[in-house]
Amino acid sequence: MNLNVLIVAEQKNGKLANVSYELIAAAKKSGGTIMTVCLAESAEGMAAELAARGGGKVLAISNPALKFYSDDIYAKVISAVIKKYQPQLVLGPATFYGKALFARLAALNTGAMASDITDLKSEEGKIVITRPSYGGNVLVDLTNAENRIFFATIRPKVYEESKDGPGEVIKESIEPSLFTGKGMVKEMIAESGQSISLTEADTIVTAGRGVRGPENLPLVKELADSLGAAFGASRAIVDAGWIAYSHQIGQTGKTVNPKLYIAVGISGAIQHLVGMQSSKTIVAINRDKDAPIFNIASFGIVGDLFEIVPALTAKFQSVK
């Protein structure tokens, strides 16, 4: 089977998300012919960047209606591209926008859907994807036995970004009526307090109930800032109202996969581990030597976080 793979690039405010280049790397692994669709108010510049990084035939679709993300409009436009180019595999990021969009795309195109995948390959003409299951305790291989279009969202930070490869930009024409939807996004306002996306961060520092109160969160936030890291939180302190839900990592929050994850005052309940246990390097700081977090930690520091965290922060600041 000549496998045709369509990548849906993600952009915000006219800038490509790094995960778009990770999707190209994943598509290369499939061995198929790569196409990438880039939707924006003005897509040509970003399409050129994707082409230079190996995005294959990059379809640039520009329209003022695409300035802000809209499930309705994006799904209709991408479905038109799918109908024209007939891919067997469609890849997108397992981000907030990607997960919402791909569920809709799969339904509109009568396709099969797999979310948050960590690997893909082609075997004997079939697409085989790998995704965590049962809270991340089991890795499951799935294949598209019904021969329907396979829609899959890939967990950020699983693949290295594609650096180069063949590519060309094509200005794609779309029926104008598809750029209208039931609603109109007039403005997007970024939530304050988090300049680095948790799902795309290479380094994350996360606080748990061990910090004792919201007044002590700046202590941990300063450590994150010294590393240029994103700042996360356990469900316990989100539920307690100490910090906004957008910072929550775990089963009912975000799933992350950074190169370095520092857990401060987190015991390691399974609900939290589900969201971060695939991190490359895990450093746990906890006064309880029997805390479950130490079972998965690459490095453990047993002691008082109110002494350890300031010392680490001072050290990292001194070597900047």
Predicted local confidence at residue 143, as pLDDT: 86
Residue 292 has pLDDT above 90, yes or no: yes
Q: How many domains does the chain have?
A: 2
For residue 158, give the nearest of 256, 34, 39 by alpha carbon.
256
Same domain assignment for residues 115 and 249: no
Q: What is the mean pLDDT of residues 266-284?
A: 94
Q: Is residue 265 part of a domain?
A: yes
Indicate the residue among 179, 194, 219 that finishes a domain: 179
Quick one: how far is CA 301 from the chain centroid? 29
User: 103-150 pLDDT, tens per residue?
Assistant: 999 999 999 999 999 999 888 778 889 998 876 778 899 887 677 899
Per DSSP, the residues of 280-302 read SEEEEEES-TT-GGGGT-SEEEE
Per DSSP, the residues of 183-203 read S------PPTT--S-TTT-SE
Q: Is residue 198 part of a domain?
A: no
Domain that residue 171 falls in: 4-179
Predicted local confidence at residue 1, as pLDDT: 57
Same domain assignment for residues 175 and 207: no
Q: Is residue 26 part of a domain?
A: yes
Q: Is residue 186 part of a domain?
A: no
Predicted local confidence at residue 197, as pLDDT: 83
Which CATH number is 300's domain given? Answer: 3.40.50.1220
- The one-letter amino acid code at 121 reads K
Q: Is residue 193 part of a domain?
A: no
Q: What is the mean pLDDT of residues 175-181?
A: 93
- ∠ Cα 153 154 155 (to 5°): 125
User: 13-45 pLDDT, tens per residue?
Assistant: 899 999 999 999 999 988 899 999 999 999 999
For residue 208, give the nearest of 267, 282, 256, 294 by alpha carbon.
267
Indicate the residue among 130, 146, 179 that finishes a domain: 179
Same domain assignment for residues 175 and 222: no
User: 70-112 pLDDT, tens per residue?
Assistant: 999 999 999 999 999 999 999 999 998 999 999 999 999 999 9
